[in-house]
Amino acid sequence: MIYSVKYYNYFSENHIERITLNFSKFIKLASFSSLLILTCTSSINLEVTARPQSQELKPEELYQIVQTMVYSYYLDPSFNNQDLSIWSVDKRYKDKLKTYDDSKKAIQTMLASLGDRYTRFLDKEEFKEELQAIDAKLPGIGIQIGLDKSQRIIVIAPIQGTPAFKAGLMPKDEILEVDGTPTKGLSIEEVANKIRGNPGSEVKILVQRGNEKKDFSITRAEIKMEAIPEGQALKINEKACYIHFSSFIGKDSSDEFASKLKQLGTCQGLILDLRNNPGGLLDNAISIANIFMDDKLDIVSTVDRDGYVITKTTGDKRLLEYKGKLVVLVNEGSASASEILSGALKDQNRAVLVGEKTFGKGLVQLVKGIPDERGSAGGLNITMAKYLTPKGTDIHKIGIEPNYKVKLTEENYKNKQGPWFSDFDNIIDPKLDLKKTTDLQLKKAIEVLNKELLITSTPETNTTVSSTKTEIISPPPITEDLDKEKTKSEIIDNSKSVIKEETEIKKEESLPAKENAK
C-alpha cells in the first residue's frame, strides 16, 4: 500500500483513497478528474457513519461526516486560525438542512472558511466521474482547464487526439462562454459541468486568444486516455530513442510505457518527454521511476500535519530495467506525477532535465467517498499532506528547474518551434524525423543526449538554439553509480494498487488543481 500507512483503518473496499498532487492553480481536466490517486482496502470508521449503509444519509449526517473528515485529515491543524466547532450543525445549521442541496451548500461554505481552494466537496456526479477516470475512459471534449491568478478560466492543454485537440483549442486560451453562458464568476466545477455531456452531443465554446475571440463547436466523445499516442515512441538514430509520455492517468500507463520502450529495441540513450503532462496515477510514476533507478533509492516523501513522513523507495520488482543515458524534457505544463518522476530522476543524478521550470504542485490531497444506499453521497477532496523530492525539496508553487533551460517565446510558438506534438500535422505523420524538428527544446535535448553518448553531432542534431534563451544550470553528470546507502521506509512492490491524478486534474493550486477534465 502506498502513502496510506497512517490511515489504514479508515478505508473499505468500496472507497477510494486518492492522493492527489494537483497543480498550484487548481486544474480540472475536461475529461477526467484528478492528478494522483491511490486505491486501498480497509474500512471507514467514523462515529457519524455508525448507521446501516443500506439507509440513505440524511442531510445533517452528510454534513457531519464531512466535518469529521476535516477534523481528521486536514493539513493545517489550526483550520485557518479558527475553531472548527463554530461550523457544527447545532451552532450553525440546526433544523436548517432539509435536502441534499442544503447540505452541499453548507459543506461548501464550511470548506471555503479554510481558505484552501483544493479542499472541496464532490457531489454525486463529480465523484462518479472520479471513479470513471480510473478506467481512463471519460466523457467530454478532452481539455484541462484551470483558474489563473485573475480568476479567469483558461485552457491548460488539450489532450492529444481528442475533439478539443482536433478542433484547435490551445494552451492559455481563456474560456469566455460555454453554450452562450459567460464563465465569469463561475467555479472550475461549474464550467467543467457545462463542458461535459453525452458523447455525440455538441458544445459551443467561445475563447479569447490574444487580441481575438474564437468560436468553437465541438462534438463530445468518450475520451480514452493513451499515455503514448501512436507514432510518439521513435528512434532518433541508431543509438538514441525518444518517447513522449503524455499522461499518467490510465491504470495501465506504466505497462504501456514499458512495452513501448521494449519495442524500440536497443537504446543507448533515451529522451523522455514529459512536457504538458499534467500527471495521473501515482503507481505509474513509481513504476516508471523503478525502470530507471537502482534499488532502495528515494522517489518521493509525504509529510502530514503531525510531521509524519512516509518515503517511497525503489525496489527490485520492475516492469523493465533501463540503464542507458537519460534526458527528460519538462515545461510549465509538467505537473504532479510528472514532477515526482522528474524530481526523483534529477535528485538521484539519474537524468538531465531540459526545457522550462515545471508547474509546481506539491500538495497531497485525499479523496474519500461517502456511501449511502444509492451508492454514493459524493466525496471529499481534502489537503492532507505535502510532498518532497528525494533531497527534501518542497516544490509547491516553485517548480523544478531544468539543468538546461530553454525558454520559449510567443514568437517561437507562432513559428512552430514549441513542443512538436502541439502541431496536429506532426501527430499524424508516421514518418516523422525528429532530427529535423523545429522544436527548440527537443533540439537541445538531442544535443545534450548526443554529447552524453559521445555522438558526433550533425548540423541537424546540433542546431544552435535561436530566437530563444538557452541557459545551462549546473547539470549533474548522468551516472549509473547511484548512492545506494540512502534507504528509507518502504520498498515498492509494484503492486497494482490504482492511483490516479485528477484529470479534471483535478487535479489543485490543480492549475494542474485537483484537475478537471471535460
| pLDDT values of the chain reduced to their tens digit, one per residue, 518 residues | 222 222 222 222 222 233 333 222 223 333 333 334 433 222 233 333 344 544 678 999 999 999 999 999 999 999 999 999 999 999 999 999 999 999 999 999 999 999 988 899 999 888 877 777 666 677 899 887 888 778 899 987 787 778 999 999 988 899 999 999 999 999 888 998 899 888 999 999 999 999 999 999 999 998 877 788 777 899 999 999 999 999 887 788 999 999 999 999 999 999 999 999 988 777 889 999 999 999 999 999 989 999 999 999 998 789 999 999 999 999 999 998 999 999 999 999 999 999 999 999 888 878 788 877 666 789 998 989 898 999 999 998 899 999 999 999 999 998 989 999 877 566 545 567 888 899 999 999 999 999 999 754 443 333 333 334 434 333 333 333 323 333 333 322 322 322 333 333 333 333 333 334 45
Domain boundary among 168, 194, 224: 224
Q: Are residues 24 and 96 in the same domain?
A: yes
User: How many distinct structural domains can be found in the chain?
Assistant: 2
Cα–Cα distance measured from residue 165 to residue 343, given in angstroms and rounded to the nearest whole number: 28
pTM for this model (two decimals): 0.66
Q: Which of 200, 224, 248 marks a domain boundary?
A: 224
Q: Is position 181 within any domain?
A: yes
CA distances from 82 to 76, 86, 113 (A): 11, 8, 9
Within a domain: residue 25?
yes
The 3-state secondary structure of 489-500, one letter per residue? CEECCCCCCCCC
Q: What share of the chain is helix, strand, coil (3-state, %, to 5)?
A: 25, 25, 50
- Unique residue bearing C-alpha cell 510514476: 285
Query: Are residues 125 and 51 located together in one domain of the fold?
Result: yes
Task: Check whether residue 200 and residue 101 sit in a common domain.
Answer: no
Tell me which residue range forms the domain holding 176: 155-224
Report d(CA 93, CA 91) in Å as an integer.
Answer: 6
Q: Please state, in angstroms and as integers, the Cα–Cα distance from residue 187 to each residue in 60, 132, 161, following that order.
A: 25, 22, 27
The answer to whether residues 154 and 145 touch, using CB atoms and an 8 Å cutoff, is: yes
433 has catalytic annotation: no
Same domain, 124 and 28: yes
Alpha-carbon span 141 to 144, nearest angstrom: 10
Active site residue 347: yes
The catalytic residue among 25, 104, 346, 361 is 361
Contacts of 363 (CB under 8 A, 6+ apart): 21, 22, 75, 118, 383, 385, 386, 387, 396, 508, 509
Q: What is the DSSP letter of 166?
A: H
Q: Ramachandran region of residue 172, left (φ > 0), alpha (ψ -120 to 50) or beta? A: left
Helix (H, G, I), strand (E, B) or coil at 225: coil
Assess whether 99 and 160 both reside in one domain: no
Domain assignment present for residue 206? The answer is yes
Domain membership of residue 170 (yes or no) is yes
Using the 8-state DSSP alphabet, how is residue 460 labeled?
A: T
Are both 111 and 173 inside the same structural domain?
no
Which triple of cell numbers denotes residue 100? 441534499
Q: List the catalytic residue out of 273, 298, 304, 347.
A: 347
Q: What is the CATH number of the domain that holds 181?
A: 2.30.42.10
361 catalytic? Reply is yes
Instruction: Report the chain's terminal Cα–Cα distance, integer Å.
Output: 30
State whether 17 and 89 are in the same domain. Answer: yes
Indicate whether 381 belongs to any domain: no
Name the DSSP class of 477: P
- Is 466 a member of any domain? no
- The full DSSP string for 15-71 is --BEEEE--TT-EEESS--EE--B--------GGG-S-TTSPPPHHHHHHHHHHHHH
Query: Final residue of a domain: which of 207, 224, 241?
Result: 224
Choosing from 336, 376, 422, 497, which is the catalytic residue? 336
Please give the Cα distance from 318 to 321 (Å, whole number).
7
Q: Residue 10: CA atoms inside 13 Å, Cβ hemisphere, count? A: 19
Q: Is residue 167 part of a domain?
A: yes
37 belongs to a structural domain:
yes
Q: Which residues of 23-49 are buried (b: 16+ CB within 10 A; e: fewer)?
A: bbbbbbbbbbbbbbbbbbebebeeebb
Q: String of b and e for 93-115 (b: at least 16 CB within 10 Å)?
A: beeebeebebbbebbeebbeebe
